[in-house]
């Protein structure tokens, strides 16, 4: 029987921090989720200190309540997943979009130092949240047993986590930022200083949908409100969303010959408005190139827990075996 080992996974975003204590089968022993106001102090440095202390406090709380599972003989480490941009190899956030005022922050080392200072001696591993979501899908989700697949997350932004031959598809700790693929060349030519408007994310994210809807007269503040209008003039937005995501999946298939692509993220709740068309558009285009490259597109199985699950998998992927006691 396989020996039980344990990890802690943290998923840091612009509005929340989630954490879970996990066993090596991906089962959650405990889960916490707390809001994170990145603008509360009005100082990026003070906010960084508060967030790092919060992560350390939660880790220490897990250790106090689960002393057996966090003992050196069975505990493999802590994983931290975060929105980017970032360099996973160097453990640094690089002017992260969702953390106002943060510049280059060596968050992995700062978190590890703070946790170790509290008496919890362990190592911290770091990765992009979309890549963590893909790792989670491969660990306990629909991609189990697969070597090459991708998870496309659709929410505030559009992220991509690509696992290629069993490992995250990155170079020097960076890469797989395919949500920023340009999809509207004529639009970009007309407005070259607004590249974000003409990417997959610019057409398919919650932020992009709202921006375009407001340009058409929408006065609400959420995608939910946009959907509730049931105004047919906004149908074009969801049609464009489906086509942009299909084009992203087309390009990923051409580049990596994937076994399957999974769609995840907060906008899955409105999948009835785009998912069927996404798959139809993808099949139509990929079959014109090479039918052998076509793969299935499905909704991810790990859903809202993908971030903490993927973060919790990082010590298994990058770490050494748990230390044996004498």
pLDDT (tens digit, 9 = 90+) per residue, 237-267? 999 999 999 999 999 999 999 999 999 988 9
> What is the per-residue pLDDT for 120?
96
State the virtual CA torsion across 151, 154, 159, 160 in degrees, nearest 10.
20
State the virtual CA torsion across 223, 224, 227, 231 in degrees, nearest 10.
-80
Same domain, 40 and 149: no
Question: Do the bridges between strand 92-94 and strand 86-87 make them parallel or antiparallel, or are there none, so unpaired?
Answer: antiparallel
* Number of domains the chain contains: 2
Closest CA to 308 of 9, 51, 30: 9
Tens of pLDDT, residue by residue over 34-73, are: 999 888 888 999 999 999 999 999 999 999 999 999 999 9
Cβ–Cβ under 8 Å, residues 29 and 23: yes
Among 86-95, 133-142, 172-181, 219-228, which stretch is predicted with the lowest mean pLDDT?
172-181
Same domain, 85 and 187: no
Instruction: Quickly count: other Cβ atoms within 10 Å of residue 251's Cβ.
Output: 16
Mean residue pLDDT across the chain: 94
Residue 323 lies in a domain: no
Rounded to 5 degrees, what are φ and ψ at 38? -75, -5
Whether the ω angle into residue 80 lies within 30 degrees of 0, i.e. cis, is no
Find the helix packing angle between 275-289 and 235-256, rounded to 10°. Answer: 40
> What is the per-residue pLDDT for 179?
92
Cβ–Cβ under 8 Å, residues 202 and 154: no
Structural domain range at position 205 = 145-300
Percent of the chain exceeding pLDDT 90 equals 84
Same domain, 55 and 121: yes
Cα–Cα distance, 260 to 110 (Å, whole number) = 36
Residue 253 lies in a domain: yes
Cα atoms in the Cβ-side hemisphere of radius 13 Å centred on 304: 10
Same domain, 11 and 116: yes
pLDDT for 323 beyond 70: no
Q: Which residue has the tokens 């919060």?
A: 54
pLDDT for 22 beyond 90: yes
Residue 255 lies in a domain: yes
Same domain, 162 and 271: yes
Cβ–Cβ under 8 Å, residues 223 and 207: no
Mean of the pLDDT values across residues 176-199?
94
Same domain, 156 and 273: yes
Six-digit token string for 95:
């002017």
Same domain, 13 and 125: yes
> What is the per-residue pLDDT for 321?
55
pLDDT for 2 beyond 90: no
pLDDT for 215 beyond 50: yes
Same domain, 261 and 279: yes
Mean of the pLDDT values across residues 262-279?
95
pLDDT bracket for residue 326 (50, 70, 90): very low
Residue 326 lies in a domain: no
Same domain, 313 and 261: no
Percent of the chain exceeding pLDDT 70 equals 98
Residue 12 lies in a domain: yes
Same domain, 128 and 248: no
> What is the per-residue pLDDT for 320?
65
Residue 222 lies in a domain: yes
CATH at residue 215: 3.30.420.40
Same domain, 126 and 36: yes
Between 90 and 84, whose confidence is greater?
Answer: 90
Largest CA distance in the chain: 70
pLDDT for 175 beyond 60: yes
pTM of the model: 0.87
Mean of the pLDDT values across residues 89-99?
92
Radius of gyration, alpha carbons of the chain: 20
Instruction: Quickly count: other Cβ atoms within 10 Å of residue 125's Cβ.
Output: 25
CB burial string 42-78: b at 16+ within 10 A, e below = eebeebbebbbebbbebbbebbeebeebbeeebbbbb
Six-digit token string for 177:
């930022």
Same domain, 108 and 182: no
Cα–Cα distance, 178 to 194 (Å, whole number) = 17
């Amino acid at each position: 029987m396989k020996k039980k080992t344990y990890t802690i996974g943290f998923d840091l975003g612009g509005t929340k921090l989630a954490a879970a204590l996990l066993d090596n089968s991906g089962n959650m022993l405990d889960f916490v989720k707390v809001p994170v106001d990145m603008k509360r102090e009005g100082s990026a440095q003070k906010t960084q200190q508060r967030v790092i202390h919060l992560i350390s406090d939660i880790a220490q709380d897990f250790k106090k309540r689960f002393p057996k599972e966090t003992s050196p003989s069975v505990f493999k480490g802590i994983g931290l997943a975060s929105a980017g941009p970032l360099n996973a190899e160097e453990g640094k956030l690089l002017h992260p979009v969702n953390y106002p005022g943060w510049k280059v922050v060596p968050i992995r080392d700062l978190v590890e130092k703070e946790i170790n200072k509290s008496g919890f001696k362990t190592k911290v591993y770091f990765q992009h949240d979309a890549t963590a979501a893909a790792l989670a899908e491969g660990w306990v989700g629909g991609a189990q047993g697969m070597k090459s697949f991708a998870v496309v997350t659709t929410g505030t932004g559009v992220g991509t986590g690509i696992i290629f031959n069993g490992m995250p598809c990155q170079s020097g700790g960076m890469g797989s930022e395919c949500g920023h693929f340009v999809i509207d060349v004529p639009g970009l030519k007309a407005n070259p200083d607004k590249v974000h408007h003409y990417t997959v994310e610019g057409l398919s994210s919650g932020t992009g949908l709202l921006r375009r809807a407001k340009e058409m007269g929408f006065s609400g503040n959420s995608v939910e409100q946009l959907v509730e209008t049931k105004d047919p003039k906004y149908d074009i937005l969801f049609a464009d969303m489906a086509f942009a995501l299909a084009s992203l999946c087309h390009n990923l298939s051409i580049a990596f010959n994937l076994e399957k692509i999974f769609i995840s993220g907060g906008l899955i709740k409105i999948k009835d408005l785009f998912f069927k068309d996404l798959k139809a558009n993808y099949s139509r285009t990929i079959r014109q190139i090479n039918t052998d490259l076509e793969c299935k597109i499905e909704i991810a199985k790990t859903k809202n827990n993908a971030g903490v699950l993927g973060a919790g998998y990082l010590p298994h992927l990058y770490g050494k075996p748990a230390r044996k006691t004498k």
